[in-house]
Amino acid sequence: MAIWDEFSFQDGASPLMEQLIFFHDHTMVILIFITMLIGYMMFSLMYSKYLNRLLLEGQEIETMWTVFPAFILIFIALPSLRLLYLLDEINNPFITLKVIGHQWYWSYEYSDFKDLEFDSYMIQINDMMIGDFRLLDVDNRVVLPSKNQIRILVSAADVLHSWAIPALGLKVDAVPGRLNQVMMYISHIGLFIGQCSEICGANHSFMPIVLESIPVYKFLEWLKIK
């Protein structure tokens, strides 16, 4: 969960989010290098006393400023394409979770288990207990097993929504009449909080997402209780 003085990404809780953070750092190093190089050249030109009135063309430097940026774009594009394919990679999922967005709450269905579905509403301030997160906690948390492939199917019942959990690198649009699919692998147990990331109406900011990752054996015990 993000805290008040955190300006960077949350710690990655899935291999996908870790790769996204690595790609961000890789791209920022290239951008910082380019910014420093251009800044150095601008200051050098401003304070240079040398002029060349007869310079009309420079084939060598024009070739350099065409080829060099092309190589930079290749170094950015290759990791980006790899991540793009990782996002769409589909393996044999352990379970399937169906997410449906409503104004203004979420519905969850465990498609592999009959009659296992529930709604998840934000806990109102008057109903909060000690230890609850204000405007972020819900009455029914999503419970999923850690270290397993999980398929998420996302849709909406009324307007556009977006199911997003930053620590897992997930942001899936919930579109009425359309079923979007994404794969998820949670690398460790914990509590992960997200929110609707698509402006969906007056109470858009009051439909949080709380996902609880637990070991497989505890997940099976939770299923028996449900």
Are the folds of 15-88 and 95-223 the same?
no
Domains of the chain, residue spans: 15-88, 95-223
User: Tell me, what's the pLDDT at 214?
Assistant: 92
User: Tell me, what's the pLDDT at 35?
Assistant: 93
CATH H-level, domain 95-223: superfamily:
Cupredoxins -  blue copper proteins (2.60.40.420)
Q: What tokens were used for 179?
A: 């079923």
CA 30, 33, 37, 38 dihedral sign is positive
Domain 15-88 class in CATH: mainly alpha
User: Tell me, what's the pLDDT at 161?
Assistant: 94
Under DSSP, is residue 151 helix (H, G, I), strand (E, B) or coil?
Answer: strand
User: Tell me, what's the pLDDT at 28?
Assistant: 92
User: Tell me, what's the pLDDT at 100?
Assistant: 94
Contact 13, 168 (CB under 8 A): yes
User: Tell me, what's the pLDDT at 53?
Assistant: 67
User: Tell me, what's the pLDDT at 63?
Assistant: 86
Quote the pTM value. 0.78
User: Tell me, what's the pLDDT at 89?
Assistant: 67
The CA distance from 142 to 108, in Å, is 8
The CA distance from 188 to 145, in Å, is 9
Q: What is the mean pLDDT of each run of 10 residues along the chain (226 residues)?
A: 71 83 89 92 82 71 86 88 76 88 92 84 85 85 90 92 90 91 88 90 90 90 80
